[in-house]
Every structure is written in structure tokens, then in C-alpha cells.
């Protein structure tokens, strides 16, 4: 079964760093783009960026460029979204999702990781 399994919920303080992960299984991890999508409480979906694990080609939404970093560990079939310094406004649900090609939507989604940032 093709699936993306995300790491568990996080509670952090402003200024702390954080990495959340997304592990792919049931398919060839390096052949599909992995993207990240933010959903703030009660709000809509926002595309943050995507990475192609095969060559680590990464594209960011300008709104998130410099605020987060997207990477992959091919050896463990895991994509990572990380922050160097969290803000309260980073409180949101974060989803990873898979797409086949650069002109394709996300057809497989992870279950989401809730990140709460509060002093």
C-alpha cells in the first residue's frame, strides 16, 4: 500500500527549532515529488514547497522561502520540513503529499502533523 506517514504532533516555544518528517512507503520514493501544505486553524490550504527526492530539486512558495527548509533523506525514504526559529504564527497543521510529475496534483497525502507554538 502506498502511504505517507508523518511524525507526531509537536508543542514548541517561539524561537525554538523544529523538524517534522514524512516517510514514504509502498512505492519508489525517489521517483515522486513530495510537497508540504500548511493549514492554519480554521483556514484554507497553502502550498509551501516541493522537493524531488531523485535529485533534491526544490521549489518554494515565495511566501515561505527563507522561513522553512525542505529536504529529503533518500536512505530512509523520508522528507523533512524544518524551521530554524519558530513563531506563534507557525501554529498549524502541516501535510505532506505526493505528486508524480511537475504538472500533477497531490494524489497521496500524509495524515498531517499539528505544530503548536506558544510561550
Residue 95 interacts with other proteins (CB under 8 A)? yes
> Could you give the C-alpha distances from 86 to 3, 75, 92, in angstroms and in order?
28, 28, 12
Residue 85 interacts with other proteins (CB under 8 A)? no
Q: Which residues, at least 6 apart from 56, have a Cβ–Cβ distance to it below 8 Å?
A: 71, 72
> Considering only residues 18-37, where is the footprint of other proteins by CB under 8 A?
35, 37
Identify the residue among 8, 41, 66, 105 touching other proteins (CB under 8 A). 105
Residue 73 interacts with other proteins (CB under 8 A)? no
Residue 11 bridge partners (DSSP): 116
Identify the residue among 23, 59, 69, 91 touching other proteins (CB under 8 A). 59
- Which three three-digit cell numbers place residue 37? 501544505
Residue 66 interacts with other proteins (CB under 8 A)? no
Closer residue to other proteins, CB minimum distance, 24 or 110: 110
Strand, helix or coil for residue 71:
strand
- Helices assigned H by DSSP within 1-119: none
Closer residue to other proteins, CB minimum distance, 12 or 59: 59
Amino acid at each position: 500500500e502506498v502511504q505517507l506517514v508523518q511524525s507526531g504532533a509537536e508543542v514548541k516555544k517561539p524561537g525554538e527549532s523544529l523538524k517534522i518528517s514524512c516517510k514514504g512507503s509502498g512505492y519508489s520514493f525517489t521517483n515522486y515529488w513530495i510537497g508540504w501544505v500548511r493549514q492554519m486553524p480554521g483556514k484554507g490550504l497553502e502550498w509551501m514547497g516541493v522537493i524531488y527526492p531523485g535529485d533534491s530539486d526544490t521549489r518554494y512558495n515565495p511566501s515561505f522561502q527563507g522561513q522553512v527548509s525542505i529536504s529529503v533523506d533518500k536512505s530512509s525514504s523520508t522528507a523533512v520540513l524544518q524551521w530554524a526559529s519558530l513563531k506563534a504564527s507557525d501554529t498549524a497543521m502541516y501535510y505532506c503529499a505526493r505528486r508524480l510529475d511537475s504538472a500533477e496534483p497531490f494524489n497521496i497525502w500524509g495524515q498531517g502533523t499539528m505544530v503548536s507554538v506558544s510561550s
